[in-house]
């Protein structure tokens, strides 16, 4: 259920409603705006009786049952898109945000050069893996904390925010000490111990869709993080596994539009993993803007032919700069669309 309080309800009135909800055996979760408070209700109990009791309270404007199994991330819970801010960057607002950089942090020269290249082209967030989940146990697994330190150095040199992957609930605290955004890879989308821990970390989370996961499963995983205390979650479509072999994965581009209908969380598209081919990345990036994603997660390497991982899908500096330039007219239309949506919602 969601309970919408009347404008300018007092703290005492809100507390009274929360107490009444708890009388029915439910838990409460509130979102406080400047003028209005919305209370989310979760748990098992007599929904009809609870709704009737709450609607009878004078300070309650409306009480509505949420049909979706994911409560807090549902559009039924929150109509306006969540905006997530890190430093001077806001995702989910009126700016299309590009996150870019190499798959892996390899050495100091490589990550500093990468940061300068993506910043110069207009990206706002530097990506780079310090902990790397690899299919083969013999492949490069990442520089771990040394890689995090190099990302921090790149941030201080360029002003870019940084995003990097965390693979284990044991490492959440360590990665959160360095990173502005914590990325959860496709293989860990349903690592529930990790998701619960992320609810307490206080950092924005980029949650990637599992390679064989449905949209509903993605949203339920996001619900884990939000329900455990962290509302700053972004979703990422990065391609799913199908029978098709011409691309590394199959980009479910329609999932971006579907997610924008189902959830208030920002939606990011990763064209690099979705295709596995650098020649296809710019076209899919343009499609991501056109269909309404909030940003991109792109792999760029100063020298893709020398990359330790994912060189085939990484753009080189010239290709990345051209892609960013080519995206500008699409982003202008995207901004105009956002303005029209905001006006229509008033």
pLDDT in tens, 119-140: 999 999 999 999 876 667 666 6
Structure tokens at 157: 């040199």
| CA–CA dist 297, 204 (Å, integer) | 15
Q: Report pLDDT for 42.
A: 83
Let me know: does 201 contact 172? Beta carbons within 8 Å: yes
Cα distance between residue 200 and residue 197, in whole Å: 6
Amino acid 141: pLDDT: 67
Which SS3 state, helix, strand or coil, does residue 108 take?
helix
Return d(Cα 62, Cα 337) in angstroms, integer.
30
**Could you tell me the pTM of the whole model?**
0.89
Residue ranges per structural domain of the chain? 2-64, 84-345
Q: What is the pLDDT of residue 237?
A: 98
User: In angstroms, rounded to a whole number, what is the distance separating the alpha carbons of residues 131 and 187?
Assistant: 13
pLDDT at 346: 66
Give the pLDDT confidence score for residue 330 in this predicted structure.
97
- The secondary structure of residue 299, as a DSSP letter, is E
Give the chain's largest Cα–Cα span. 67
Neighbour tally for 305: CB within 10 Å: 9
Backbone angles phi, psi at 31, to 5 degrees: -120, 120
Of 215, 189, 217, the closest CA to residue 205 belongs to 189
Query: Is residue 252 within 8 Å of residue 267, measured between CB atoms?
Result: no
Give the DSSP letter of residue 95.
Answer: S
Question: What does CATH list as the number for 2-64?
Answer: 3.30.70.1140
- pLDDT at 297 (0 to 100): 98
CA separation for the pair 183, 185 (Å, rounded)? 6
User: Given this model, what pLDDT does residue 21 score?
Assistant: 94
**Helix and strand element counts for the chain (H, E):** 11, 14
The number of angstroms, rounded, from the C-alpha of 208 to the middle of its chain's C-alpha atoms is 8
CB within 8 A of 156, min separation 6: which ones?
none
Residue keyed to tokens 């965390």: 166
CA angle, residues 37, 200, 216, in degrees to nearest 5: 75
Blockwise average pLDDT, block size 10, the chain, 346 residues: 88 94 88 72 87 94 88 90 97 97 97 98 97 69 90 98 96 96 97 95 97 97 92 97 96 98 98 97 98 98 95 97 98 93 75
**Helical packing angle, 253-262 and 215-227, nearest 10°:** 50
Q: Are 263 and 75 in contact (CB under 8 A)?
A: yes
Task: Return the CATH number of 84-345, one of 3.20.20.70, 3.40.50.2000, 3.90.79.10, 2.40.50.140.
Answer: 3.20.20.70
Q: How many residues does the chain have?
A: 346
Task: Check: CB of residue 93 under 8 Å from CB of residue 83.
Answer: yes
**pLDDT value for 33:** 60
């Amino acid at each position: 259920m969601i309970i919408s309080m009347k404008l300018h309800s007092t703290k005492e009135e809100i507390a009274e409603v929360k107490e009444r909800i708890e009388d029915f055996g439910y838990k409460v979760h509130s979102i406080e705006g400047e003028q209005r408070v919305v209370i989310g209700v979760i748990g098992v109990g007599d929904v009809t009786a609870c709704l009737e009791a709450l609607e009878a309270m004078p300070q309650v404007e409306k009480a509505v049952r949420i049909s979706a199994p994911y409560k807090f991330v549902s559009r039924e819970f929150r109509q306006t898109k969540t905006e997530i801010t890190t430093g001077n960057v806001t995702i989910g607002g009126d700016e299309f945000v590009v996150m870019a950089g190499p798959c892996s942090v390899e050495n100091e020269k490589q990550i500093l050069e990468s940061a300068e290249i993506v910043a110069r082209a207009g990206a706002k967030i530097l990506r780079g893996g310090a902990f790397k989940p690899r299919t083969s146990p013999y492949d490069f697994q990442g520089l771990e904390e040394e890689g995090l330190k190099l990302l921090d150095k790149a941030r201080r040199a360029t002003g870019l925010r940084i995003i990097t992957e965390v693979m284990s609930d044991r490492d959440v605290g360590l990665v959160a000490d360095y990173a502005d955004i914590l990325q959860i890879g496709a293989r860990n989308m349903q690592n529930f111990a990790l998701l619960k821990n992320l609810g307490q970390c206080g950092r924005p989370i980029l949650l990637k869709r599992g390679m064989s996961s449905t949209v509903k499963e993605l949203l339920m995983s996001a619900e884990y993080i939000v329900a455990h205390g962290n509302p700053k979650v972004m979703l990422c479509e990065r391609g799913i596994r199908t029978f098709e072999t011409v691309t590394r994965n199959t980009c479910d581009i329609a999932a971006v539009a579907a997610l924008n209908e189902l959830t208030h969380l920002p939606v990011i598209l990763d064209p690099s993993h979705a295709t596995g081919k650098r020649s296809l990345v710019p076209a899919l990036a343009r499609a991501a803007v056109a269909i309404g994603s909030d940003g991109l997660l792109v792999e760029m390497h100063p020298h893709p032919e020398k990359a330790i991982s994912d060189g085939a899908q990484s753009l080189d500096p010239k290709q990345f700069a051209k892609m960013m330039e080519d995206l500008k007219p699409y982003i202008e239309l995207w901004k105009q669309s956002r303005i029209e949506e905001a006006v229509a919602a008033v």
